[in-house]
Amino acid sequence: MESKGKGGGYLLSLEGIRELFDRLREKYRVIAPKLKDGLIAFSDVDNFESLPFGYKNVEAPGFYSLERSGGYFTYTHPYNSFKNFLHPPELTLIKVKKENGKLSFQVHIQEEALCLFDIRACDLSALRVLDLVFLHKNPHPDPYYAGLRKGLFVVAVNCTYATSTCFCSTMGTGPEVKEGYDLLITELSEGFLVEVGSERGGEILEKVENKSDAERRHFKEKAQRLGETEATMRVHFEKEGLQERLYGRMDSTYWEHIEKRCVACTSCTQACPTCFCFDILEKNQLDLKESQRVRVWDSCFSPSFATVHRFNLRQSVHSRYRQWLMHKFAYWVDQFDCFGCVGCGRCITWCPVGIDIREEVRRIAYA
């Protein structure tokens, strides 16, 4: 398990991490975890003191709370997802204005230097999934996503703690960050091991003065901490053959039992870092001088989602739940050669009735 980043590693003190953060702030709009309304949330962060150091999120099906804890990167991931910034809940695509009898069209493609600071292994896997959806396996790459994704700088952090809803080890996405980062931080007893994953990551770290070369023992401690974290997580189901097992249960009456609990609130799809479905709306001013074409998040749990010519193809809640679960664990594999679930557990925590997708997959596929 012992590994080094592509460009070696350095040991930084807390002051070194602060200096790194400040240097990133000079160049990027930094999106990072922050305490907000009693939650740890991905937010715009302007100063190092806003990071939720010394807190730990405690999560269970339908439950979330924060506790004080020793250390710094002692939480897992924020309650919300980074997708709020790369695939915003509401995004204006085109504005049309009528002036002097003529129409003008303005296409709004944002190009902004963003930095995701403190992204965990599950979310980094979700970022790769969204890249496939919007760019790499899309015959018509999305220019709006591409504009925000283009210059994204990624500072990842290895998890040394897991909540009861985390199942990244089951999905093979964590807790160790293995790729897709510019810099990777692991909190150790002596300080912070920072590994370089890209040329621009090395360039930023080169400017940080408060650092020393990491030694072999630092990488050993990293491997030990990650091993201890993974040991606290159980494997909930086997991925091998899961897709075929689920396809074989499409007509099972089990799905109907879900309808007695699921309230189709769409909370799971909004919290999920890989759910990407959207609708396109037209917002017209009453004086007809301006119109906006807006992209908004949609959900396969919404009654209108599968409505075609006023007929809803999925009228029952259990048919919508089946669509969601099958997309994550079966259809997605056909479309993108990977699972659509990264094991972050947000859908479990934020389900108001505590439906646990790990239990449902096990019951449906292995009953």
Residue 105's pLDDT is what?
A: 95
Mean pLDDT score, 19-46: 97
Mean pLDDT, to the nearest integer, of 332-357?
A: 96
Above 90 in pLDDT, residue 340?
A: yes
Question: How far is 168 from 341, CA to CA, in rounded Å?
Answer: 9
Give the model confidence (pLDDT) of 277-324 as tens digits: 999 999 999 988 999 999 999 999 998 888 888 888 888 999 999 999
Average pLDDT over residues 320-335: 96
The residue that leads in pLDDT, 274 or 311, is 274
Does the pLDDT of residue 108 top 90, yes or no? no
Which amino acid does the sequence have at 314?
Answer: R
Token readout for 171 is 């999905």
For residue 367, what pLDDT is reported?
Answer: 77
| Whole-number pLDDT of residue 311 | 85
Instruction: Indicate the residue type of 248.
Output: G
**Confidence band, pLDDT 50/70/90 cuts, at residue 6:** low
SS3 content of the chain, % helix, strand, coil (to 5): 35, 25, 45
CB-CB contact of 94 with 147 (8 Å)? no
pLDDT at 91 over 90: yes
On whether the CB atoms of residues 66 and 79 are closer than 8 A, the answer is no
State the pLDDT at residue 331. 96
Q: Which has the higher per-residue pLDDT, 2 or 15?
A: 15
Closest CA to 262 of 177, 188, 356: 356
Six token digits for residue 324: 């969601």
CA distance 367 to 364: 6
Q: Are 36 and 44 in contact (CB under 8 A)?
A: no
117-169 pLDDT per residue, tens: 999 999 999 999 999 999 999 999 999 999 999 999 999 999 999 999 999 99
Tokens found for residue 148 = 């925000």
Q: Determine the 3-state secondary structure of 283 from DSSP.
A: strand
Q: Give the residue carrying structure tokens 């039992």.
A: 257
Q: Over 80: is that where the pLDDT of 329 sits?
A: yes
What per-residue confidence (pLDDT) applies to 210? 86
- How crowded is residue 196: how many other Cβ atoms within 10 Å of its Cβ? 23
Q: Strands 29-36, 211-213: parallel, antiparallel or unpaired by DSSP? A: unpaired
Q: What is the mean pLDDT of residues 173-196?
A: 97
Residue 1, pLDDT score: 40
Instruction: Answer yes or no: is pLDDT of 34 > 70.
Output: yes
The pLDDT-based confidence of 70 (bands split at 50, 70, 90) is: confident
Residues 6+ apart with CB under 8 A from 315: none
Bigger pLDDT: 3 or 75?
75
Gyration radius from the chain CA atoms: 22
Q: Label residue 24 exposed, middle or buried (CB < 10 Å: 0-12, 13-18, 19+).
A: buried
Mean pLDDT of the chain: 94
Which three-class secondary structure state does DSSP give residue 101? coil
Q: Please calculate the CA angle 128-65-261 and round it to the nearest 5 degrees.
A: 75
The pLDDT score that the predictor gives to residue 116 is 98
Percentage with pLDDT > 70 across the chain:
98
